[in-house]
Amino acid sequence: MKADTISLDIAVRRAELTPERPAVYWRDRWLSYREMNARAGRLAARLAERGVRKGDRVSILAQNHLAHLDLILATAKLGFIYTPFNHRLGPPEQQALAAYVRPSLLLFDADNAEKAHACGVPTLSLEDYPRWLEHAPAPPPPPRLSSEDIQMILFTGGTTGLPKGAMQSYRQGIANAAATTLSWGLRDDDCVIQATPCFHAAVNAFTTPLLHLGGRVVLPRNFEPAAYLRLVRETGTTILFLVPTMYRLLTEAPEFAAAELSGVRWAISGGAPCPEPLRRAFAARGVRFKQGYGLTEAGVNCFAMTLEDAEIRPTSVGKAVLYSEAVIRRPDGTPADTGEIGELTLRGPHLFSGYFERPAASAEVLRDGWLWTGDLARRDREGFFYIVGRRKEMFVSGGENVLPVEIESLLYQHPDIAECAVLGVPDRQWGEVGLAVMVRRPGADIGAAGIRAYLRGKLAGFKIPKHLRFTEALPKSGAGKILKSSLREAFEREGHAQDPS
């Protein structure tokens, strides 16, 4: 069967296969697959009534809301492109995104009304959304779609300049769902809480694969540790998916010690390497851990491994998922040797279709069918991959390469350090040196001298950061990633003649 003859309307197929099975938990009740399909049909009808056509972008500027999933499921019913905005960006950035992708309609919640109205595009309040959806006209005829048509534009987590819109085709979504389900061993009785923002590519980590599979998705408006642990118990959550900062907040919550976690099959960390102390904290509660890796441009799930392998190699992301290939390359494109650090490249049907209206940027990362990820990695003799940092984050100090993630891994093992970030900053003598910015655990009084003493003997001298800073909190992107560019800018503004001891 040709790809363009396959039904791409997952909502209608799921409603046929498992109509009464619970699909999404929203505002204290389960909605079935039949209900979700009906909602998506009404939304498509309403959008068509407003003149939305195939290829138009429809955006949403809101905390996690059922409308995010309505929009995703309605894309195949009308052919529009789901293009969510990061609600954590400021008004000028929202205006720039709107000017870039030119949405035909922008849905917004009450918290983001001012930002939405400033974008200069047609808007719809989510306060009016339920009533608007309820009185929909007859659904439009289904569009003619191929698997290469674009379903989503998700903005990269770019920490400098305007984020690029990564175009994700239906082909990519299907490939990601199939590879994730089969490679990770997802089941139709699995349940995951979508606690990371829906505007981020993490919506494709579990939510869209489980909606393909017929599993269950819990959708809280935002992440709050006590509420999250309550939802795990009440909804029968079987897999945990969070970024390391969220896992840390869970372990620090008073409710964590007595939380009901016996139904959790495993937990996976995304966005950044998960520190060993966090893995130990969950292991003590009987929860087994994996390390994930993915990026907006590739699905997002790129590697998989068994729980047994994850416990033997806790810092590995595993091996490439089904239907994909991973090769570590030198700058000249030749494959790196076993153990040699190089740039990770990926190939397969889970790759994106380029950046929206950015052909030069697309050509830079998509070369001869391979995605150059910008991430540095190595592969061991057994074929397991390890992510060692971003190519752009590696710095050279006195002629020696320094990988921040190596230093961060050690700092996270210090009992007094809750969070940290290491980056390279200019230095007259050495070219670049390390800057470590750390958040102490409550009650800790560790200083720079203590950190230097801790690192001495564990790292070569040139790897020990010259500049050490402590702060109350680290700046983060909407996806929960630490914004090292903001730390660099703050360091440059404050100067670095003296460091605390």
- Whether the pLDDT of residue 424 is over 70: the answer is yes
Q: Looking at the domain assignment, is residue 389 inside a domain?
A: no
Q: Phi and psi (nearest 5°) for 266?
A: -170, 165
- Whether the pLDDT of residue 399 is over 80: the answer is no
Domain end point (choices 319, 345, 379): 379
Q: Looking at the domain assignment, is residue 83 inside a domain?
A: yes
DSSP state of 479: T
Q: What is the mean pLDDT of residues 387-401?
A: 81
Is 402 found in the same domain as 365? no
Q: What is the DSSP string of 421-470?
A: EEEEEEETTTEEEEEEEEEEPTT----HHHHHHHHBTTB-GGGS-SEEEE
- Whether the pLDDT of residue 225 is over 80: the answer is yes
Note the pLDDT tens digit of each residue in 317-334: 999 999 999 999 999 999
- Whether the pLDDT of residue 117 is over 60: the answer is yes
pLDDT attached to residue 145:
95
Provide, rounded to the nearest whole percent, the portion of the chain with pLDDT above 70.
Answer: 96
Handedness of CA 193, 199, 202, 203 (dihedral sign): positive
pLDDT band, residue 93 (cuts 50/70/90): confident
Q: Looking at the domain assignment, is residue 213 inside a domain?
A: yes
- Which residues, 6+ apart, have CB-to-CB distance to 445 below 8 Å? 416
Is 410 found in the same domain as 367? no
Q: What is the mean pLDDT of residues 188-209?
A: 96
Is 485 found in the same domain as 361? no
Q: Looking at the domain assignment, is residue 386 inside a domain?
A: no
Domain end point (choices 328, 344, 379): 379
Q: How far apart are CA 469 and CA 487, in angstroms?
A: 10
Q: What is the CATH number of the domain that holds 425?
A: 3.30.300.30
Q: How far apart are CA 8 and CA 11, in angstroms?
A: 9
Q: Which CA distances in Å does 380 have to 224, 344, 383, 384?
A: 38, 14, 5, 6
pLDDT band, residue 388 (cuts 50/70/90): confident
Provide, rounded to the nearest whole percent, the portion of the chain with pLDDT above 90.
Answer: 78
Please give the residue that has the higher pLDDT: either 244 or 466: 466
Joined tokens for residue 417: 């350090």
Q: How far apart are CA 319 and CA 159, in angstroms?
A: 28
Q: How far apart are CA 311 and CA 316, in angstroms?
A: 10
Q: What is the mean pLDDT of residues 248-263?
A: 95
Is 421 found in the same domain as 360? no
How many residues does the structure list for the chain? 501
446-455 contacts: CB < 8 A, separation 24 or more?
446/414, 446/416, 446/417, 447/500, 447/501, 448/499, 448/500, 448/501, 449/501, 450/416, 451/411, 451/414, 454/410, 454/414, 455/407, 455/410, 455/411
- Whether the pLDDT of residue 276 is over 70: the answer is yes
Is 399 found in the same domain as 367? no
Is 72 found in the same domain as 20? yes
- Whether the pLDDT of residue 73 is over 90: the answer is yes
Domain count, the chain: 2
Is 422 found in the same domain as 352? no
Q: Looking at the domain assignment, is residue 388 inside a domain?
A: no
pLDDT band, residue 499 (cuts 50/70/90): low
- Whether the pLDDT of residue 157 is over 80: the answer is no
Is 74 found in the same domain as 155? yes
Q: Looking at the domain assignment, is residue 332 inside a domain?
A: yes
pLDDT attached to residue 394:
81
Is 329 found in the same domain as 424? no
Whether 97 and 89 have beta carbons less than 8 Å apart is answered as yes
Q: What is the CATH number of the domain that holds 220?
A: 3.40.50.12780
Q: Looking at the domain assignment, is residue 390 inside a domain?
A: no
Is 374 found in the same domain as 403? no
Is 176 found in the same domain as 305? yes
pLDDT attached to residue 1:
36
pLDDT attached to residue 395:
86
pLDDT attached to residue 151:
98
pLDDT band, residue 3 (cuts 50/70/90): very low
**Where in the sequence is the domain holding 349, given as residue range(s)?**
3-379
Q: What is the mean pLDDT of residues 471-475?
A: 92
pLDDT attached to residue 5:
46
Note the pLDDT tens digit of each residue in 18-46: 999 999 999 999 999 999 999 999 999 99
Q: Looking at the domain assignment, is residue 385 inside a domain?
A: no
Q: What is the mean pLDDT of residues 84-96?
A: 90
- Whether the pLDDT of residue 259 is over 80: the answer is yes
CA atoms within 13 A on the CB side of 38: 10
pLDDT attached to residue 398:
77
Is 245 found in the same domain as 102? yes
Domain end point (choices 339, 355, 379): 379
What is the rounded radius of gyration, in angstroms, for the C-alpha atoms of the chain?
A: 23
